[in-house]
Structure formats: structure tokens, C-alpha cells
Amino acid sequence: MQRDLFTDLLKWKNSASRKPLVLQGARQVGKTYLLREFGATEFKHCVYLNFEQDNLLAQFFEHTLDPIKILDNLSLYLDLQIKPEQTLIIFDEVQECPRALNSLKYFQEQAPEYHIAAAGSLLGVKLINKAGFPVGKVNFLDLFPLSFMEFLNALGKEKLRTYLEDLNNADPIPEPLHQELLNLLRRYMMVGGMPEAVLKFIETNDLNEVRKIQYEILRAYDLDFAKHAPKAEIMRISQVWQSIPRQLAKENSKFVFNVVREGARGRDYELALQWLLEAGLILKSYNLTTPQLPFPAFGDTNAFKVFMLDVGLLAAMCQIPLKLVAIDQQLFLNEFNGAITENYVAQSLSKQRHSLYYWTSAATAEVDFIVEFGGNIYPLGVKSGTSKRKKSLQIYATKYNPELLLRVSSLNLKLDGKVCNLPLYLCSQFARFL
């Protein structure tokens, strides 16, 4: 399954300042598959080490962190050649061997000619904040669930993706193409971007089979809470996780601790939220008190929204009826107060490396996202249906006079004065239109 991050892996491979790589991402987003595919196609040899499957591997790091000694011993143990510049060495499930992760520092300093990529589940939770992590000695890449554009590739719709990426003006898209893309987007919002779910959809074209896979993934996450989280936080993590659909279903989707548990206080759930964030399972969007740069200086860390890493998993948790995919577009997008739509946009922005912020004005207006591009600030409103209401954007425009207002909806592409309407399937391309 083709992934966009493959291009970043090629840049890493060929970089003159390359360091050992740490590939981050939530469980089951496809880290292992991507690295093994990269090794098989771009290197003469690929050495795959899984510290969870083979616990003997950790012993090679117990008494030395010398890169050459480690590689010599591994070469003998595996009966494989490990040659610089020709071999990709993969440390998988590296969280099971912290010393292997620590060894990346010495590979960077003493053996930079070797290509090493490390990956693992819950790396952010288990290791990055602990002593010994090779800070400054590694490169990072983040793998997310498949985007809608990657979903098009997976379905064999590469020409449609190329067409969208080659658009160079705001002329409306031919209506038949617009409707086809909206139909594909409906399916994406139910399937999501978890590789196993996408593969099942490709194989069966059966959303019921996809939903079974999604439930299995959600169950695996529940088991992760019990296995990897601090014992004192397991219940709180589970409560926060299970509350996300209810949080997003509210008219005001700001995260409210009382929805997690009646009488709950924020300080009791701070660690639970941070655990889910570092595990890559949630996205946080902060209220921007004033739309000024830099955003972190004006963000209210006590007022935020929480989104899930994958829109398909959210649809499964919400138990959105599968039959809605075949029904009216507006009815589908309005389901659950538009929570699915807003989560999809948050996921798209996050994949583009945008930190998530929103803006409110007392009780009169709320702009779903505030984005920065080229040093300019743009409000981005999300409309789940076909309503042409722009009240919140207009209030924002009156107050701050931005050069352009962005609005994503199921309407066709159009520039209407200062309002640029982007179809939902183009929200990942907004920077090009700016």
C-alpha cells in the first residue's frame, strides 16, 4: 500500500546530514510494513530486528553500545551481511529494549555510514521522556493513518488524486467529478485510514467487514491501556477515551471533564490526556484567545477540543449506521452534529504538520480552525452540510479583517469575494490555493 511518507524516507536515506531515524506513530498505522517495504525496494539488504518477537536480541546491547561490536555480533547471530550504505537496519518494537534505542546515539557519532531506522508502539509514552534517550542524535518522522489522498491511491483512483493536486485555480470542479469525490469521501469517513481497515475494504467492498476490523483495533487499544499505562491511570485513560464521541457530539465540542465523569476535575485527568496524546491516539486543538503569532503564546491550554487519530475509528466508536453511506450526503455529514466531519478536517490539518487551534467570541461565534501559512493567519470554518451560513467567519472578518476566509463544506470549489469555499475532499490542499 503506497504511503506518502515513502518520499520522506528517500530524502532521509540520501541526506548528507542523516542521523538514525525514529519513526513514530500510533499502533497499527503501518510503521513496520512501511519500513520493510522501504528496505526491500531501496536497499540491497534489509536486516529486520524485532525486540518483542526475539527477546534474545536485547542481550547484544547489555554489555556494550559500541556500534561495530553490536553489528558484528548481530551479523553472526542472524547469518546476514550488514554493509554500510547498502543495508537498512530496522529496530522494531524498540521500546522493549531501551538500550537499543540508546545505542542510536553511538551509531550517529561513531558509525554514521549505517542506515538505521527504529520504530515501536507507544514510543512517546514509554521512552522519549526517560533518561538515556538519544536527544539530538536522531531524526524523527511521524506516520499517520492514510489520508483521503492516500485512500484514493489505495482504491486505484490515482488519476483523480493527480487531478486534484494539479488544480491551479478556484474554478468549480465538473459536477460529475465533484459528486464522485463526495461519494468516495463518505466511504473514507467510514473506513478511515488504518491500513488493515483500508485493505479489508479493498478486498471485500463490505463496510460490515471493515467495521469488524475497526472494533478489533479499538479492542487492541483498550488492551494497551491495561498493559502499558501506569496502573493508577488505566481507568482514567479509558474514561477519557470512551468519552470522546460524547464530547464531539455536543453542540459546543470543547472538552468538558464533567462528560468524562460527573464531578470530574481537570487536574485528575491531565496525565490520562497526556498519555493518550503521547501514544498518538488523540489530537488536541486549543482555544486561541487572540489570533496572533506565535499561536502557542495566545492559546488557552485550559480550553481545548479532543479529536481521535482516525475518522473511521471515531465512526465505529459512534456506531454511525453504515447505511448512511448510501443515503443523502447532507444527512451523512450532519450525523452526530458534524463530529465526523470536524474530526476529518482536524486529522487532515495535523497530517500537514499544522498545530490545531480554534477561536471563539463569547457565545456568538466559533471558527473551527485557525491556521497559519506564510506568516499570515486564516480562519477555516467547517460546515458539515450544504448550508451557506458564514456567520462565525463574518464575525471574525469584521473583528480581524483577514485577507481571505476559508470554508470547507460539501459545496463545490468557489471563490466568493473574500470567502474561498473548498470541498471537504480538498481540505488537505488549502495551502496551494492560498
DSSP-assigned letters across all residues of 85-140 = TTEEEEEESGGG-HHHHHTHHHHHHH-TTSEEEEE-TTHHHHTTTSTT--TTSSEE
Tell me what pLDDT residue 128 has.
54
Does position 156 have pLDDT exceeding 60, yes or no? Answer: yes
Predicted pLDDT of residue 127: 58
Cα 152–241–345 angle (5° rounding)? 35
Pick from 393, 387, 352, 395: nearest CA to 372: 352
User: Residue 387: pLDDT band by 50, 70, 90 thresholds?
Assistant: very low
pTM comes to 0.93
Task: Supply the pLDDT for residue 132.
Answer: 65
Mean residue pLDDT across the chain? 92
Kindly report, residue by residue over 84-137, the tens digit of the pLDDT. 999 999 999 998 999 999 999 999 999 999 999 999 877 767 655 555 678 889
pLDDT in tens, 403-434: 999 999 999 999 999 999 999 999 998 888 78
What domains can be seen in the chain, in order of their start residue? 5-142 (3.40.50.300), 148-433 (no CATH)
Give me the pLDDT at residue 386, please.
Answer: 45
pLDDT at 152: 98
Please list the residues that pair with 184 across neighbouring strands. none
- Mean pLDDT over 32-49 rounds to 97
3-class DSSP assignment, residue 273: helix
The DSSP annotation for 168-189 comes to -S-PPPPHHHHHHHHHHHHHHH
- Residue 302's SS3 state is strand
Residue 144 has pLDDT above 60, yes or no: yes
Give the Å distances, CA to CA, from 79 to 40, 73, 76, 82: 18, 10, 5, 10
Which residue has cell 471563490? 415
Backbone angles phi, psi at 242, to 5 degrees: -70, -20
Summarize pLDDT for 319-369 with one digit per residue, the tens.
988 887 776 666 666 666 688 999 999 999 999 999 999 999 977 899 999
> Whole-angstrom Cα distance, residue 421 to residue 382?
10
Tell me, what's the pLDDT at 130? 59
pLDDT digits (tens, 9 = 90+) for 194-241: 999 999 999 999 999 999 999 999 999 999 999 889 999 999 999 999
